[in-house]
Amino acid sequence: MKHCRYYKGEEDYPEGKFGEDIPSAFFYWEAEEIYVNRFETDPEFAKQAVADCFRENLVGLYLDIPLELLACLYATYVHTMGGGEYSAGPYFEHIFMPKYLAQPL
């Protein structure tokens, strides 16, 4: 959990903790919760999430974030946006991640 900015071990998302300043806080929290609680126990999810990061050329862009956490952030983002045929990488890289990184550890 030392890499998590939002998830701190809560069982449920802490409504109101992040205020309206961070409209995507729930998605960040959810991705971190998945990283902490599901990544190692669901190898199929982990394999696909990491492969998606490689496919989108996201690996190596965020050296302070473990690949597994990045994979969970991307998987949560794509799931939230409904997936689709287009590449979600550019929006994830230029909009979603800068907002995530703005929250201090």
Cα separation of 41 and 46, whole Å?
9
**pLDDT of amino acid 84:** 55
Question: Which residues, given as ranges, of the chain have pLDDT below 50?
Answer: 85
pLDDT on residue 82: 62
Is residue 35 a part of any domain in this protein?
A: no
Total domains present in the chain = 1
List the domain range (segments joined by +) for residue 74.
46-102
Whether 77 maps to a domain, the answer reads yes
Looking at the domain assignment, is residue 74 inside a domain?
yes
pTM for the predicted model, two decimal places: 0.86
**Burial letters 58-93, b for 16+ CB under 10 A, else e:** beeebeebeebbbbbbbbbbbeeeeeeeeebbeebb
**pLDDT score for 40:** 86
Do 13 and 30 contact (CB within 8 A), yes or no?
A: yes
